[in-house]
């Protein structure tokens, strides 16, 4: 019988601000998490991610490399960030030169099971549950759908 290679989730080389709450199990490594943040269970936050102050990341969220999230944000359950757009018709694999960044502004709420491709999102935005953000969001408001479109101004 073959034995699998087992890797444990955990917390490694993370810069935490003051008053941060983390609910285990999580996989957090080489990232920065600001003051007064909450990180729920079953969350993965990869290296070089920056999370601003007073931000909540709920359970089962996946935040990949090259993501920056502002202050006072809410990342709901199951939100997924993508940094590889398969620009060559397949996964980039280890070729990080093909990965792209995502920047989330301040006061942004992202609903359950939304998917965020490499984009910029301005301040004061709500992204509805299940939405897929494929383009930059440059105006405050409420966005919903696949692809996400503005349905209401702030």
What does the pLDDT read at residue 26?
Answer: 97
Position 27 scores a pLDDT of 97
Give residue 94's pLDDT: 83
**pLDDT for the residue numbered 130:** 98
**Which residues of the chain register pLDDT less than 50?**
none
Contact 16, 35 (CB under 8 A): no
Domain residue extents for the chain: 11-153
Cis, bond preceding 16 (omega within 30 deg of 0)? no
pLDDT > 70 fraction of the chain, expressed in percent and rounded = 99
- Looking at domain 11-153, its CATH class is mainly beta
User: Looking at residue 42, what is its pLDDT?
Assistant: 97
Cβ contact 117:134 at 8 Å: yes
Q: Give the predicted TM-score (pTM) of the model.
A: 0.95
Paired tokens of 56: 């909540």
């Amino acid at each position: 019988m073959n034995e699998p290679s087992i890797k444990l989730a955990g917390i490694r080389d993370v810069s935490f601000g003051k008053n941060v709450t983390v609910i285990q199990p999580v996989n957090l490594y080489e990232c920065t998490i600001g003051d007064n943040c909450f990180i729920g269970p079953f969350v993965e936050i990869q290296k070089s991610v920056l999370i601003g102050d007073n931000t909540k990341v709920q359970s089962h969220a996946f935040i990949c490399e090259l993501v920056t999230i502002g202050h006072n944000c809410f990342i709901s359950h199951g939100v997924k960030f993508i940094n590889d757009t398969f620009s060559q018709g397949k996964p980039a694999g280890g070729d990080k030169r093909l990965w792209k960044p995502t920047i989330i502004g301040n006061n942004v709420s992202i609903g359950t099971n939304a998917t965020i491709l490499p984009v910029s999102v301005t301040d004061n935005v709500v992204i509805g549950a299940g939405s897929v953000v494929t383009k930059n969001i440059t105006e405050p408001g409420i966005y919903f759908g696949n692809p996400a479109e503005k349905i209401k101004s702030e």
